[in-house]
């Protein structure tokens, strides 16, 4: 029996069989389980469209003049330009980007690589990037490395080669060889949430932000402060969780609190992961009086578990999140606000700069490339999920 990975497409006798992505069961009712799709493999091109020759003929000029006129280049007589514009308008002409790309080598397109676009954070980053790049005339292609099907694709497998002039890579697994290949191919690179050796990057002030959030808890009197983190370990230099953990440790140290590894649990940046993490924390013989989660989703999941366990928030346990997700305000979650849209916009701006640079041959080969590392500021937003620990917890540890 052949094993077909969910979400995969396989071709059989000229037809494509597309396995549906399995759905997580959530909530009460059963989940709709879709049947596999069977569709024909793709086919032929569309209807012919007017070309630059048609415009040239109609305007009674050469194609060279049309090209110049349409792109606003100098050395075109105003009357001629007007005639060309008129002809192009009449024919509803638009230049073929593929032909332009072939002639110039420029795609006027950039790629965005994220783990999964359905996630709140990545969707917002994308929105910010697309806004700026679209305004600058660029097309934006999206590549998910962790599709909903759970299949991870590495940067190397992504088919962006020759498709894009630049790439914004968010929180991706980056190895030096892959990066070198990308840069060698002339693709400009900007990263978010990770740092690449010779490319600009944008990150939020993770360490400072986390320190501030946890300091808020120590100032309230908490000593048993849990951290709901990302993965158990991250071998790929996705630095965000590491930095937030350092900030957490900074704050504990500043308050003279000995870190307890049992209080640090993975939450995988999901609602369910946050809930599971909280479950685990509640089984400890000496459970925390406060929890700092590295994302609002995880904090919401944790808060739900606390509520269901009949534990008062913030009376018995305080909760702090990270992001300032829209929902945070609605459930009164104390959290660290970061401007994700702005993160995307900054990355797009850095990429536009990078696209402007001459050829990679000069500065980059010499290793003299300017690599701007930008830090986006954050704010601690105090709401109603944090308060001093219960009295008994403050006296001894026999809560």
Q: How many residues form the binding site for a second copy (CB under 8 A)?
A: 120
Q: Is the peptide bond before 314 cis (omega within 30 degrees of 0)?
A: yes
CB of 371 to a second copy, least distance (A): 16
> Which is nearer to a second copy, 83 or 124 (by Cβ)?
124
The window from 16-24, 56-64, 223-231, 254-262 that contacts a second copy (CB under 8 A) reads 16-24
> Which is nearer to a second copy, 293 or 393 (by Cβ)?
293
Question: Any idea which residue has 């590392």 for tokens?
Answer: 373
Q: Which does 273 bind (CB under 5 to 8 A by kind): DNA, a second copy, none?
A: none
Q: Please state, in angstroms and rounded to a whole number, the distance separating the CA atoms of residues 329 and 384.
A: 10
User: If 0-12 CB within 10 Å is exposed, 13-18 middle and 19+ buried, where does residue 399 land?
Assistant: middle
CB of 77 to DNA, least distance (A): 3
Q: Which tokens belong to 302?
A: 């944790």
Note whether 64 binds a second copy by CB under 8 A. no
CB of 346 to a second copy, least distance (A): 7
Task: List the alpha helices (DSSP H) in the chain.
Answer: 52-59, 63-70, 78-91, 97-104, 120-135, 176-184, 206-219, 239-254, 271-282, 296-308, 326-331, 340-356, 391-395
Query: Which residues are at the interface with DNA (CB under 7 A)?
Result: 48, 51-53, 60-65, 67-68, 70-71, 74-77, 79-81, 93, 95-96, 99-100, 102-104
> Which is nearer to a second copy, 223 or 295 (by Cβ)?
295
**For the chain, how are helix, strand and coil distributed in percent, rounded to 5?**
40, 20, 45
Note whether 109 binds a second copy by CB under 8 A. yes
> Which is nearer to DNA, 66 or 331 (by Cβ)?
66
For residues 289-308, which are near a second copy according to CB under 8 A? Answer: 297, 300-301, 303-304
Name which position in 1, 2, 13, 92 contacts a second copy (CB under 8 A): 92
Helices (H) and strands (E) counted in the chain, each on its own, are 13, 15
Note whether 211 binds a second copy by CB under 8 A. no
Q: Which does 195 bind (CB under 5 to 8 A by kind): DNA, a second copy, none?
A: none
Task: Count CB neighbours of 244 within 10 A.
Answer: 27
Q: Please state, in angstroms and rounded to a whole number, the distance separating the CA atoms of residues 311 and 306.
A: 5
Q: Which does 126 bind (CB under 5 to 8 A by kind): a second copy, DNA, none?
A: a second copy
Task: Count CB neighbours of 269 within 10 A.
Answer: 26
Name which position in 116, 242, 264, 372 contacts a second copy (CB under 8 A): 116
> Which is nearer to a second copy, 64 or 185 (by Cβ)?
185
Question: Any idea which residue has 């676009």 for tokens?
Answer: 117
Name which position in 3, 13, 102, 177 contacts a second copy (CB under 8 A): 102
CB 229 within 8 A of CB 190: no
């Amino acid at each position: 029996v052949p094993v077909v990975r969910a979400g995969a497409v396989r071709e059989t006798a000229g037809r494509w069989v597309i396995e549906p992505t399995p759905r997580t069961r959530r909530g009460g009712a059963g989940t709709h389980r879709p049947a596999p799709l069977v569709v024909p493999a793709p086919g032929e091109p569309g209807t012919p469209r007017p070309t630059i020759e048609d415009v040239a003929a109609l305007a009674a000029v050469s194609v060279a003049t049309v090209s110049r006129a349409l792109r606003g280049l100098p050395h075109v007589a105003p009357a001629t330009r007007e005639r060309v514009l008129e002809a192009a308008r009449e024919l509803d002409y638009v230049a073929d980007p593929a032909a332009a790309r072939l002639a110039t080598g420029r795609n006027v397109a950039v790629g965005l690589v994220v783990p999964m676009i359905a996630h709140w954070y990545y969707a917002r980053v994308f929105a910010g990037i697309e806004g700026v790049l679209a305004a600058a005339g660029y097309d934006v292609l999206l590549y998910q490395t962790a599709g909903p099907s759970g299949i991870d694709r590495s940067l190397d497998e992504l088919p962006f080669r020759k498709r894009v002039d630049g790439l914004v890579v968010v929180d991706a697994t980056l190895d030096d060889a892959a990066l070198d290949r990308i840069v060698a191919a002339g693709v400009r690179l900007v990263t978010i949430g990770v740092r690449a050796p010779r490319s600009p990057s944008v990150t939020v002030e993770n360490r400072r932000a986390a320190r501030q959030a946890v300091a808020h808890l120590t100032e309230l009197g908490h000593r048993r402060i849990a951290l709901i983190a990302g993965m158990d370990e991250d071998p790929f230099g996705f630095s965000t969780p590491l930095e937030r953990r350092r900030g957490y440790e900074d704050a504990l140290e500043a308050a003279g609190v000995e870190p307890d590894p049992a209080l640090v649990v993975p939450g995988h940046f999901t609602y369910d992961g946050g809930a599971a993490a909280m479950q685990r924390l509640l089984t400890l013989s000496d459970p925390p009086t406060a929890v700092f989660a590295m994302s609002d989703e995880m904090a919401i999941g944790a808060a739900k578990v606390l509520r269901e366990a009949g534990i008062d928030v913030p009376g018995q346990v305080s909760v702090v999140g990270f992001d300032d997700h829209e929902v945070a305000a609605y459930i009164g979650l104390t959290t660290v606000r970061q401007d994700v849209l702005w993160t995307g916009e900054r990355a797009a701006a850095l990429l536009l700069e990078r696209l402007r640079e001459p050829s990679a041959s000069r500065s980059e080969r010499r290793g003299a490339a300017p690599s701007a590392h930008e830090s986006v500021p954050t704010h601690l937003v105090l709401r109603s999920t944090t308060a001093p620990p219960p009295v008994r917890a403050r006296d001894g540890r026999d809560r």
